Amino acid sequence: MSFLYPTFLFGLLAVSVPVAIHLFNFRRTRRVFFTNVALLRTVQTETKSFRRLKHYLILLFRTLFVICLVLAFAQPFLPSKSKLGLSRTGLTSLYLDNSYSMQNEANQKRYLDIATSKLDQLLGLFRNATSLQLVTNDFSSQEQTVGTAEALRDRVTTVRFAHTPRSLPDVYRRQLNLLASHNPTGPNQLFWFSDFQKSTAGDLSRLKIDTTNRLFLVPLETQPTKNVFVDSVWLSTPFIRELQNNTLNVRVRNSGEESVRNFPIKLFIDQTQVSTASVTLPGKGTATATLNFNVTQKGFRRGRITFEDYPITFDNEYYFVIQASPSIRVLHLYDQKTDANYIENVYGNDSLFVRRSFSAQNVDVGQLKTADLVVLEGVNQVNGTLRSELERFVRQGGSLAIIPPPTPDAAAWSSFFAGLGVGGLQTQALPLPPQQPLSAPNRQNPFFRDIFEQTNQQGIENLPNAVPVWQWRVVGERLLTLRNGVPFLTQSRVGGLTSGQVYIFGSPLSAEYGNLAQHALFVPIMYKIAALSVRPERTAYSFDDNTIEVPVTNASPNAVYKLKRDKLEIIPVQRVNGQQLLIELPKSNQLNDGQQLASGYYELQLNDKTEKLLAFNHGNRESQMEFYKPDELRRIFANQPNVEIFDSIQDDDFVEELRQQNLGTNLWKYFVIAALVFLLAEVAVIRFMKG
């Protein structure tokens, strides 16, 4: 038998009090006179031995009462047979997984509710402990302190689902920080109540638990279940135009084993349902739904994909933002332009375009920061600041269309082309060869896919003629070529995927170099170049992203942006890099009390003015319904004897089994009962033993 609080055993010294009382009679002797002495002597003879027995019984019961009471306060127990026994006096850290996957249900009860009830029962084993800690995925400041079991019970009732998933190695490091500050030498024990979702648990094979700590894994009895969630959303066209048919593609994924047939998906734009579709999803498979819609107004539109999927509901909605009819900003720079002003006319007849024309010799290079497409027409040389700014413009995602002058400077243009990744420039010597017809464009090329729908067949059959003034080595797509194979219009990308496009024409637009500018192909080609120059903005962001990039215009390096949703206002860590705003999304522990990042729409504000509308969703990791089984966890921690894995948290005798195996059998209740019995025995002796 062992004692939880052995210092209380010093209370056994109190046994000397009743012994002293019975050894010394402190009552003063009184003399009483009787007329019949013989009768008095007879009474004394009959009561002396009886009184001695009564006093001995009272002494015995009082002594046993004191002994049992002291032992009860020392809390005796029979030690457990397990070598991984708990320390009742060490620090106990309890991790309660409140991720969104804990919305799953078993026997019509949510995993989080099951874990909470069992954790509450476990606190009963530590009701007298004062060094208890509760950790959740929130990683809030109040989780840095220790408290009593009652304090933790109050906190458990307030636990809600957290939007930030935490890996188990992160949880362990969090608990170690507390152990190091409160009880670094141990022994301590850690409990993990979780569904042990594989997609968020992290690499458990590399997780080593310190031998001074004891870790108890309490997995929920997870069952395979289906869960459908949105994998990705994208538009079929670079931008949306009002009062026209637009197409949205939605890829949904089924993380369960069973297939889902005729699964309905709804599309809402600004709280109005505008389209619906149904898909069939195989087990562990995907399907893509195509939703057609149109918008009646320009500007940012709030989109939402929704469907019904139970019991996992946190990912049943997907929010996104589209911008209807964004203005395409075209900057036209020229040295020599045609009298017909083809470029100005093409981009000046549609409200979709915002065109500005400047002489290349007098332009303010700051204009490039607000442009989507720069058209160089007839510029003899690109040198100095203009050249460096154009290279930077393209590398930051802008598009550049180059229409050559009649007599280009080979040396100057070769150097500029080299900076754009285009080499092998050769100018055509005078006199120029006769004009040649162009070959028919490739209809399968995505660039021309919708152009042929806008151009009549006769215009396609009668292709224009042209004579190039230069040739170059093609590093991208040949959009138009002469019949002799010489490239006439090419499309190439500079650098990585985030950089812009460079379009190079083979000849000027004047009639003596060809009739492309007068042909039916010219306007749709220039429109398509401008359309592709719109830098695609993300329709939605994920809370799992540590840093997001948001395009901004004319942003000052000292500007302070904030995110606002309803009454929630957050000023995140941020910095401006050129035309990009880099934002670090806050985690749960970085928010104030009562604040929570929920899926939905957030306004990006500068000086209380809304600059953009952003949509945020929870990541897909918690939508993956794959979990570690107890046997898998045992194999992972097989070489760590200080780690114990329970089979199921849902067993009715879970806490009792834990107590018997790791805490032993409590005996204090029996000693309290014995103390009461001895107290009642003393009262009975005093009351009923008359003599």
CA 185 vs. chain centroid, Å, equals 35
Per-residue pLDDT tens digits for 69-126: 888 888 887 776 555 456 656 788 999 999 988 888 877 788 899 889 888 888 887 7
Least confident of 426-430, 434-438, 629-633: 426-430
Residue 311: is the preceding peptide bond cis (ω within 30°)? yes
Least confident of 34-43, 56-65, 76-85, 143-152: 34-43
Mean pLDDT of the chain: 84
Pairing mode, strands 328-334 and 76-78: unpaired
Q: Of 598 and 266, which is predicted with more confidence?
A: 266
DSSP 563-626: EEETTEEE--EEEEETTEEEEEPP-GGGSPTT----SEEEEEEETTEEEEEEEEE--SGGG---
**In terms of C-beta distances under 8 Å and separation of at least 24 residues, what long-range contacts does 427-432 make, across chains too?**
427/469, 427/470, 428/467, 428/468, 428/469, 428/470, 428/471, 432/467, 432/469, 432/513
Q: Give yes or no for residue 575 having a pLDDT over 70.
A: yes
Q: Of 624 and 536, which is predicted with more confidence?
A: 624
- DSSP state letter for 477: E
Q: Give yes or no for residue 160 having a pLDDT over 60.
A: yes
Q: How far apart are CA 127 and CA 130, in angstroms?
A: 8
Helix (H) or strand (E) holding 361: none
Q: Give yes or no for residue 654 having a pLDDT over 80.
A: no
Close Cβ partners of 9 (under 8 Å, ≥ 6 residues apart)? 3, 70, 71, 74
Q: Of 374 and 80, which is predicted with more confidence?
A: 374
Residue 446: is the preceding peptide bond cis (ω within 30°)? no
Q: What percent of the chain has pLDDT over 90?
A: 34
Specify burial of residue 316 (Cβ count, 10 A radius: 0-12, 13-18, 19+): middle
Three-state secondary structure of 114-135: HHHHHHHHHHHHHCCCCCEEEE
Least confident of 95-109, 174-188, 672-686: 174-188
Contact (Cβ atoms closer than 8 angstroms) between residue 215 and residue 194: no
What integer pLDDT is reported at residue 457 of this predicted model?
47
The residues pairing with 482 across neighbouring beta strands, listed in sequence order, are 438
What integer pLDDT is reported at residue 221 of this predicted model?
74
Pairing mode, strands 573-577 and 541-542: unpaired
What integer pLDDT is reported at residue 82 of this predicted model?
56
Average pLDDT over residues 404-409: 90
What integer pLDDT is reported at residue 670 of this predicted model?
87
Angle between helices 37-74 and 16-23 (to 10 degrees): 170
Domain 92-222+627-663 is classified in which CATH homologous superfamily?
Answer: von Willebrand factor, type A domain (3.40.50.410)
Instruction: Work out the pLDDT band at 580, boundaries 50, 70, 90.
Output: confident
Contact (Cβ atoms closer than 8 angstroms) between residue 136 and residue 122: no
Average pLDDT over residues 383-412: 90
Tokens 């092998």 found at:
424
Contact (Cβ atoms closer than 8 angstroms) between residue 638 and residue 208: no
Q: Give yes or no for residue 651 having a pLDDT over 60.
A: no
Q: How far apart are CA 351 and CA 325, in angstroms?
A: 9
Close Cβ partners of 350 (under 8 Å, ≥ 6 residues apart)? 527
Here the tokens at position 214 are 């004891």
Residue 431: is the preceding peptide bond cis (ω within 30°)? yes
What integer pLDDT is reported at residue 458 of this predicted model?
44
Instruction: Work out the pLDDT band at 33, boundaries 50, 70, 90.
Output: low
What integer pLDDT is reported at residue 9 of this predicted model?
84
Q: In what order do the strands lie in the sheet with 2-3?
A: 2-3, 76-78, 665-666
Contact (Cβ atoms closer than 8 angstroms) between residue 530 and residue 570: no
- Phi, psi for residue 528 in degrees, rounded to 5: -70, -40
Q: Of 395 and 307, which is predicted with more confidence?
A: 307
Instruction: Work out the pLDDT band at 334, boundaries 50, 70, 90.
Output: very high
Which CATH architecture does the domain made up of 328-533 adopt? 3-Layer(aba) Sandwich (3.40)
Least confident of 88-97, 355-364, 475-484, 540-549: 88-97
Task: Indicate the pTM of the whole model.
Answer: 0.71
Length of the chain: 691
Contact (Cβ atoms closer than 8 angstroms) between residue 58 and residue 22: yes
Q: How far apart are CA 301 and CA 539, in angstroms?
A: 10
Contact (Cβ atoms closer than 8 angstroms) between residue 222 and residue 256: no
Helices (H) and strands (E) in the chain, counts: 15, 36
Q: Of 435 and 656, which is predicted with more confidence?
A: 435
Instruction: Work out the pLDDT band at 373, boundaries 50, 70, 90.
Output: very high
Q: Give yes or no for residue 617 having a pLDDT over 90.
A: yes
Three-state secondary structure of 492-529: EECCCCCCCEEEEECCCCCHHHECHHHCCCHHHHHHHH
Q: Give yes or no for residue 128 having a pLDDT over 80.
A: no
What integer pLDDT is reported at residue 141 of this predicted model?
78
Average pLDDT over residues 463-483: 91
Half-sphere exposure (Cβ direction) of 346: Cα atoms closer than 13 Å: 23
The 3-state DSSP class for residue 238 equals: coil
What integer pLDDT is reported at residue 273 of this predicted model?
94
Q: Give yes or no for residue 591 having a pLDDT over 90.
A: no
What integer pLDDT is reported at residue 35 of this predicted model?
63
Q: Give yes or no for residue 459 having a pLDDT over 50.
A: no
Q: What is the sign of the dihedral through the CA atoms of 475, 477, 482 and 484?
A: positive
